[in-house]
Amino acid sequence: MRCHLRIPPRLVPYLLLAPALGFIVLFILYPLGLNLYTSFQHRVFTEPTGNRFVGIANYLAVAKDPTFWLVLRQSAVWVVGSLAFQFILGLALALLLNERFPARGLYRSLILSPWAISGVIIAIMWKWMYNPQVGVLNEILVRLGLVGHRLAFLADPSTSLPAVILTNIWRGTPFFAVMLLAALQAVPAALYEAAAMDGAGTWRRFLHVTLPSILPMVFAALLLRTIWIFNDVDLIFVMTDGGPVRASETLATFLYKKASRDLDFGMGSALAMVMFAILMTITAFYYRAFRRSDRIL
Amino acid sequence: MRAVSRLTVILGLFLALAGLLPAGALAQAKPVTITFWDAEPADLVKLRTEILKGFEAKYPNIKVNYLNIPYAEARQKLVTAAATKTLPDTMFFQATWLGEFAAMGELLDLGPYADKWAGAKNLLPQVFSVGKAYKNTLYYLPSEFQIDALYYRTDWFKEAGIKAPPSNWAEFLDAAKKMTNPTKNRYGFSMRGAGGNERYYIMWMLMANGNVFFEKDGSLGLHKHGGMDGLKNYLELCTVHQVCTPNSVNNSFLENTAEFSSGAAGMYIHNQYSVARQVKAFGGTVEAAREKFGTAPIPRGPKGRYIAANFTNGYVMFKQSAHPAETWELVKWMLSPENDSKFSQTTGALPANKSVYEEAWFKNNPFLGVFKQQLDDPTGSFNFPIQMAKWNSLIAGPLKEEFQKGLLKQQSAEATGEAIAKAISDALK
């Protein structure tokens, strides 16, 4: 039986895109729009009769809150500190695993293990490792004579955030190792041979062959991890709950507490929109930097 | 007119008979499904399931959809359910949530149901005094009590020549000092400085001020009448006398328990849930464990009394329930002496039924008596102001953080007390 339905050819692309567009509208644009709407409301669950439109009052309250600026600074430390070391160590591991050596396959599998473990389990594990009374880290440091007395890493405001960052570095390095290893393996061997024939040493081959070749993957990995780390709450919640006294609080945990513990959804939505704006800015920066490097290549 | 009168009479007779019908009639009614949530640890799910099966056997027309939620997510799930109108019929509920969910208007008044229930006479009076915390309405029926007491290392006490557990603050400090030796990684006291820390410093403040949390006019009295001295005394254990473990500011009850059983701390304060853990840690039997630890009442304050914080979990019914009669039967089932006893024996919680305390398992456990003693003492236990809608966010926020600032010496004890008092007073407005 013939189908007599005639679809104008110019509409076909839109029809094919419709399911994807529908998904984006339903699961991305609609929640975003609702969040934006709620950010202009006074919406506290324990005050059900107090819901009202308040304009930009929530945003002004955020801007005037010294805690917001504190957690914003700490978020920058959290992201940059975690990302920088994850990338450097991940690249080093990828370069190492790209070389030939016995049981390379086994090491390539093992390297993924931190990434495969649930964030909550990692947090619980490291929290006990850091414990000054019963934790293994202090035991090692004391027995090696590196410290005179046990250190309460997570109980000291000056070390709680760095300690959680260290845990995050341990967790996130495998992601970079795997992504960059895949990129390294796609670099044509002929390029290295040509460079070697032109007299380029190891460092110059790395700088002028390896890095430019893997740059697209570097940008993609950095962008993804920046967004994920910025939004991460699991390690901080379990290890320190943002403490002591907000010393390890980030914007993501602050937002969560505002919405979930204080039940202030208006303020929580305003904070979420601020986070969204920050991440969009970072994403735009990455794309600009990537396009520039693409032109140079 | 005659037809309407006849109909009215018949309807009236029917309603009267329905009120007189025994529960068995409910069992023969049409099938319903009710939803029950709890946030118990995974190892209690089996017990809960077994108890629910017993209920379904008694009421074959009532099916219970049981959902166990991880504790860390339970309140979030409840808040989301309230927003989306998908609350369960009933839940095993934490007392600190009472104020906020009652303020939201989501809880059903259980008073009319409890008034007609013969089993209510077997419940402790504290069930009703705590359950009516919000506007003197029975929105909540506590089924388990968690009372705090002092855990102490009997072997360390013997070593240090301390003859008996401390009965007052001076003896407590003296014992803690004698047991503290940082070079051997041993400290006298493991303080809870992380989430839940307010339970203990508020106890100390109340012991100092004669148990005055609110004044008669409803304003805050916690920091008055000597309350600040109590806070100072408690803080100085760590900041001046340095008898606390170094991780105290980040300690939850898990760390307290681990520091005690691993030999890092000689004393800590916690409820009876720790008894089973410590018995397991110190030999696995009550007899073996008695050689290593004991329990004692909280050391008395300057006014000669102890105050133990009274924390509860229990049952609520939600207004959204489409089957309140059937749901009430489930709540009564859970609170029955038989099931109350099963739960308490497994969880270590103090039960809600008076008769359960006469059972051999409770009477023969040497560690549990002190908790019941404190629960029974009307001047010795204290109920937190769970009727405050903002209590839950207070304890997770400023009450925790201001105390941590005091512990870390970022502010004085006086400044800490003032900040805590201001936070609570602001929440009362």
* pLDDT tens, N- to C-terminus, chain B (429 residues): 444 455 544 444 444 444 444 445 555 578 999 999 998 877 789 999 999 999 999 999 999 999 999 887 888 899 889 989 999 999 999 988 999 899 999 999 999 999 999 999 999 998 998 999 999 999 999 999 988 999 999 999 999 999 999 999 999 999 999 999 998 999 999 999 998 999 999 999 999 999 999 999 999 999 999 999 999 999 999 999 999 999 999 999 999 999 999 999 999 999 988 998 899 999 999 899 999 999 999 999 998 888 887 788 999 999 999 999 999 999 999 999 999 999 998 888 899 999 999 999 998 888 888 888 888 887 777 788 988 888 988 999 999 999 999 999 999 999 999 999 999 999 988
Using DSSP, state whether B267 is helix, strand or coil.
Answer: strand
Question: In sequence order, what are the residues at sequence separation of 6 or more whose Cβ sits closer than 8 angstroms to the Cβ of residue B263?
Answer: B186
Residues of A in contact with B182 (CB under 8 A): 149
Model-level pTM?
0.84
What does the pLDDT look like over A240-278, one tens digit per residue? 999 899 999 999 999 999 988 888 999 999 999 999 999
Strand partners, B314: B93, B142
Output DSSP code: residue B181.
B
**Cα B420 to Cα B200: distance, rounded to the nearest angstrom:** 14
N-to-C CA span, chain B: 56
Residues of A in contact with B405 (CB under 8 A): 245
The encoded tokens of residue B312 equal 């509860």
- Measured CB to CB, residues of chain A less than 8 Å from chain B are 45-48, 131-134, 149-152, 154-155, 157, 160, 240-241, 243-246, 257, 260-263
Pairing label, strands B141-153, B265-271: antiparallel
Contact A241 B249 (CB under 8 A): no
Break chain B into its structural domains and give their ranges: 30-146+311-363, 148-308+387-428
Rounded to a whole number, what is the distance in Å from the CA of B90 to chain A's nearest CA?
20
Across the interface, which of B247, B393, B404 has its CB nearest the CB of A261? Answer: B393
Buried b / exposed e over B64-75, threshold 16 CB at 10 Å, is bebebbeeeebb
B124: Cα separation from own chain's centroid: 14
Residues of B in contact with A131 (CB under 8 A): 247, 255, 258
Q: A interface mutation test: which of B242, B250, B401 has the most A CBs within 10 A? A: B250
pLDDT value, residue A251? 97
pLDDT value, residue A290? 79
Q: Would you call B238 an interface residue with chain A, using a CB distance cutoff of 8 Å?
A: no
Rounded to a whole number, what is the distance in Å from the CA of B104 to chain A's nearest CA?
5
Contact A131 B258 (CB under 8 A): yes
CATH class of B148-308+387-428: alpha beta
Q: Would you call B56 an interface residue with chain A, using a CB distance cutoff of 8 Å?
A: no
Q: B interface mutation test: which of A71, A128, A133, A158 has the most B CBs within 10 A? A: A133
Using DSSP, state whether A148 is helix, strand or coil.
Answer: coil
Contact B250 A134 (CB under 8 A): no
pLDDT value, residue B26? 53
What does the pLDDT look like over B281-296, one tens digit per residue? 999 998 999 999 999 9
CB burial of residue B171 (10 Å; 0-12, 13-18, 19+): middle
Q: Domains of chain A, with CATH numbers?
A: 51-117+164-296 (1.10.3720.10)
Residues of B in contact with A45 (CB under 8 A): 79, 82-83, 100, 104
B359: left (phi over 0), alpha (psi -120 to 50) or beta: beta
Domains B30-146+311-363 and B148-308+387-428 share a fold: yes
Across the interface, which of A150, A244, A262 has its CB nearest the CB of B404? Answer: A244
**Cα A236 to Cα A218: distance, rounded to the nearest angstrom:** 26
Contact B79 A260 (CB under 8 A): yes
- Cβ atoms of residues B68 and B45 within 8 Å: yes
pLDDT value, residue B346? 85
pLDDT value, residue A291? 77
Contact A262 B397 (CB under 8 A): yes
**Cα B102 to Cα B316: distance, rounded to the nearest angstrom:** 10
CB pairs under 8 A between A and B: 88
Contact A133 B393 (CB under 8 A): no
pLDDT value, residue B28? 55
Residues of A in contact with B395 (CB under 8 A): none
pLDDT value, residue A287? 86
Q: Which residues of chain A have pLDDT under 50?
A: 296-297
Neighbour count for residue B15 (Cβ, 10 Å) = 10
Amino acid (1-letter code) at residue A259: A
Residues of B in contact with A48 (CB under 8 A): 103-105
Q: Would you call B198 an interface residue with chain A, using a CB distance cutoff of 8 Å?
A: no
Interface of B with A in 287-346 (CB under 8 A): none
pLDDT value, residue B22? 43
Report the residue of chain A nearest B96, measured CA to CA: A261
- B30-146+311-363 placed in CATH 3.40.190.10: yes
